[in-house]
Amino acid sequence: MNTQKQTALITGASSGIGAATARKLAAEGIRVGLAARRVDRLHGLRDEIEAAGGEALVIEMDVTDEASVSAGVGRLVEAYGTVDILFNNAGLMPVSDIDSLKTTEWHRMVDVNIKGVLNTTAAVLPYMKKQHSGHILNTSSIAGRKVFKGFTVYCATKFAVAAFSDGLRMELGAKHGIRVTCVQPGAVESELFEHISDTNYASAMENLKNETTFLKAADIANAVWYAVQQPPHVNVAEVFILPTDQEW
C-alpha cells in the first residue's frame, strides 16, 4: 500500500497511544493531524515529528464538541487536501463502583468515549465518501469484549465502540471503499489511570503493574500501522492485543 502523502487525523494525540501512533505514522511518510485539547503538548510532538523529517499539523480539538471537531477536520483538509485515515483514540477511564454514583464521571466517559467517536467519524465521512476510500480505526479495549468489576460504565462505552466499529465496517466497506478497524488493547502504560478518582481502584491498578508487563504505547502504534499498511482489499476488522503474561 502506498502511504506517501496520505493524511491521518489522530484524536487524543497529546499523550500515550495517540502520540506514539502519530510518531509511527509520520515516520512511515503519512502526514498527521495531531488533535487534542492540550495544544502545548501537541506543539512539542509536532516539533519532534518535523525534526525527524515528518509532517504534522496541530489541531486544538474537543471531541465532545461537534463544532470543534468540524472546525478541526476542516483545518486538516484545508492544509493537506484530504483525510485518508482517522484514528479515534481519545478516551477516559475513571473506574469506580456503580453504587459510588460518580455520575459526572459516567457522563464524561459517554461524552468522550462514545460521542467523541461519533462526532469525529461524522466529520470525516463526507471526505472519505467523496474519494471512495479511507480507513477509520477506533480504540476499544479488552473492556469492550468482557466486563470487569468497577469498570462497568467504561466497559459499556467500549462495548459501544466495538459495536459501532463492526456496524461501520458492514455499512461502509462495499458501499464506499472505507475500511474500519477496532483496536482492542489489554493492559497498556498510559495516562488512563490518572483519571481514576477512587483511591482503592487507583491503588489496585498501580499494584497491577507489578504483576503484569504492560504493553507500551508504541506496541499499539505498531498494531495500527499493521492494519493501515494492508492493501485496499484487506480489512483488518479487529486487533486484540495483550501482554503475553496478561491472564485476565
Q: Which residues are catalytic?
A: 154
3-state secondary structure of 141: coil
Cell numbers for 26, please give them.
509520520
| Cβ atoms of residues 48 and 23 within 8 Å | yes
Cell numbers for 15, please give them.
499523550
| Cβ atoms of residues 120 and 152 within 8 Å | no
Helices (H) and strands (E) in the chain, counts: 8, 7
Alpha helices in 52-188 (DSSP H): 66-80, 103-109, 116-131, 152-176
3-state secondary structure of 14: coil
| Cβ atoms of residues 141 and 114 within 8 Å | no
Strand partners, 32: 8, 56
**Separation between Cα atoms, residue 86 and residue 241, nearest integer Å:** 20
